[in-house]
Chains A and B, each alone.
Chain A
């Protein structure tokens, strides 16, 4: 059992990231407003960023001779941020386009995938 409160290890960050990810996923699945759904996606992406950073900062195994983690994690985070920015732009553009045709941003009403 991991001692959450005394070990300055990756676990704390990972648990936080998992909670944020779950929150985001719940938002994506449960909320009706498309803008909130988009924001929830951002939340999930940032939860992922947090895990990257946690692994970049801490060694994977306690007392590893290797100080620090994988520095590529920092690079990955920048890619995710860039992608997220692009995604937000495209997503908002889609929402605006849908709103123009449907006069609604309620995802419940967007069921034309059925056909």
Chain B
């Protein structure tokens, strides 16, 4: 259905960003907060109204705001597409975004750059909504780059700190690598189909080769944006930004853009089953890799950052096995509980006057009970313990991986082995990762909130003000309530919950994988295993980090697996490896270029060289101007003679 109000959803936060950014310095604080919050809230209300009024038959709202540009056969409209997927994500972005805005009012109140912060935050919401709502790849790319820009601006928000400014640049540069892939993917698709709009790409027939190349290129973009192996290194460093930013951008919304893109392009990815398998494999490896690193980090935000990378890996397993609904469902539930966790960690940091080290926390439940309880709820959710949302969404991914038929006909070369068992491998890796996830999240909880207070002397831990704790409660409640979208479809068939069921809800949106959806299976075995795994992780964490002796937990861990823990704590030396492999050679190369081209050729040859040439010619010319009139006359006479001679030579036959 064509409508004319969709553009308001991204436009309102954009207008808010413009006002806050241009006039924020002179506006009264209360006005600025009001503008920043109300624009996002209005977007949310419009999104909610639209979402509730989506027609049952063809649940799509579409608007072409204007023709953006036309060049040859390429016509790009600034169009917006509001269907069940983008609608739900609009609600997540604006809803969670609004809560984080509210929280930020408390968190950033004393920062002198608060107006800049809210301008960036609103700009981010606008860009993210463009990404989600864009009805073609180019519009999506605009949002894609817009969120990247805001991410960079907000990571380096405290830019006077060299390390934080560096983290911002790192995020930006690493994302560029992926974005090149994304752009090439758009070019390939346009070249093959002559269109960039999702509506046409969703039905365009593609050869396997074209689909594979395009899907691979787009996935490279997703790897960068969603922090997967091998481009995940920017996300842990992105924690240099203010904590609400980590919650909004680097956990709940922006980093899930890759998953959203893959789900949005489900037709393309199911046309390229090899790339689909690669998506799942990269997701599984990243999930495991980041979870292992997460077990040995001491900075509370870094634990959560690696956890985010790991959970994004889960989402990619979900979309990679062709269960696009499972991946996007985990996206939604993860947005709630991870935002809750990050905001909780922000409250802890706030209450401890900037302390982020888990080793210097402990016993905080006594001082900040609300933060502790909400953090615990979100921890239960992420560790997949029945019955909170993470349990259902994560298990849905694992169950779909185990039963997937997406790879049944894939072979490794002619006559090679079939990849039928790939799903099982993904399931095993994912389940093991779930165990580790539960372990490191409970470790984090125990270290921060249980046991004795080990914090810095002279700091009196205190609960955050109501404006910060109320978003925590709402997000914790959402973490619990969102379980309804993850209940297995057979359980809710026929009841009113059926309409809330994510699989049912998004049923017609996604293309099924080549081999078809998995045959009906009972969820019980998977649930029992997942339940056991969730509790096992909790048990392991209890063994090592039981409240009474949490402080020495790391030592016991190190005593059990000294080498492994060392590797985890050092993040597998990936940063060092990249430094050696890419950064240093690039530095040397750039330094060489600077020396040879900039210093020698441009400065030396062109600039100083031309000046010296002029000076040299002038020195020569100066000899002629010696002030001796007689010599002038002689030279003039010789010149006239030469002219006459030349004239005579020419005129004589």
Q: Which residues on A are within 8 Å of B, measured CB to CB? A: 25, 28-30, 37, 107-108, 110-115
Contact = CB atoms under 8 A, between A and B. Distances in A.
B627 A111 contact: yes
Contacts of B633: 25, 28-29
Interface of chain B: mostly helix, strand, loop or mixed: helix
B627 A30 contact: no
A113 B637 CA distance: 19
Interface residues of B, number: 10
Nearest to B634: A29
A30 B629 CA distance: 11
A36 B401 CA distance: 114
A110 B631 CA distance: 12
B630 A115 contact: no
A114 B633 CA distance: 14
Given A25-B637, A29-B634, A114 B629 contact: no
Interface in B594-639: 625-631, 633-634, 637
Given A29-B633, A114-B627, A115-B627, 5 more contacts: A25-B637, A28-B630, A28-B633, A29-B630, A108-B628
Interface of B: 625-631, 633-634, 637
A111 B628 CA distance: 5
B618 to A, nearest CB: 14
Contacts of B629: 107, 110, 113
A30 B630 CA distance: 7
Contacts of A29: 630-631, 633-634, 637
Contacts of A28: 630, 633
Most chain A beta-carbon neighbours within 10 Å: one of B630, B631, B637 = B630
B630 to A, nearest CB: 5
Nearest to B640: A25
A41 B625 CA distance: 23
A112 B626 CA distance: 9
11 contacts: A28-B630, A29-B633, A29-B637, A30-B630, A37-B630, A107-B629, A107-B630, A108-B630, A111-B628, A112-B627, A113-B627
A75 to B, nearest CB: 25
Nearest to A112: B627
Contacts of A110: 627, 629
A108 B630 CA distance: 8
A72 to B, nearest CB: 23
A25 B634 CA distance: 8
Nearest to B630: A29
A111 B630 contact: no
A106 to B, nearest CB: 11
B198 to A, nearest CB: 78
A25 B625 CA distance: 20
A110 B627 CA distance: 7
Contacts of B628: 107-108, 111
A48 B470 CA distance: 111
A108 B626 CA distance: 11
Nearest to A107: B630
B649 to A, nearest CB: 18
A31 B94 CA distance: 98
Contacts of A108: 628, 630
A111 B637 contact: no
